[in-house]
């Protein structure tokens, strides 16, 4: 059995954020990782601006987007 649990370390003890369903007085192996921050500052436009240029796609994606999304016939040159 494995679980992912978040906890706060108060300097001496790890305190889980939620109650755990574990057997008392039993030994467990714990892997410690720093929690990754998922909070974003700013609005959706700031997030989109940060993503600009990070996606690699074909030049034709902008021209043929209906074909890729909906299966419409290819545009003629």
Structure token pair of residue 14? 């790890």
Measure the CA–CA gap between 17 and 12, rounded to whole angstroms.
16
Q: Which pLDDT belongs to residue 5? A: 92
What are the structural domain ranges in the chain?
7-70
Q: What is the pLDDT of residues 15-61, one digit of tens each?
A: 999 999 999 999 999 999 888 776 667 788 888 888 888 777 777 77
**Distance spanning both ends of the chain, measured CA to CA:** 59
The arithmetic mean of pLDDT across residues 60-71, rounded, is: 84
Among residues 42, 34, 30, the alpha carbon closest in space to that of 3 is found at 30
Alpha-helix runs per DSSP H in the chain: 44-51, 60-63, 65-70
Q: Which two tokens stand for residue 44?
A: 């959706």
């Amino acid at each position: 059995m494995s679980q992912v649990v978040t906890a706060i370390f108060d300097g001496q003890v790890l305190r889980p954020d939620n109650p755990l369903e574990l057997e008392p007085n039993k030994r467990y192996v714990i892997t410690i990782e720093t929690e990754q921050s998922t909070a974003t500052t700013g609005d959706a436009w700031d997030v989109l601006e940060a993503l600009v240029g990070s996606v690699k796609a074909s030049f034709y994606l902008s021209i043929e987007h209906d074909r890729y999304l909906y299966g419409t016939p290819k545009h003629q040159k």
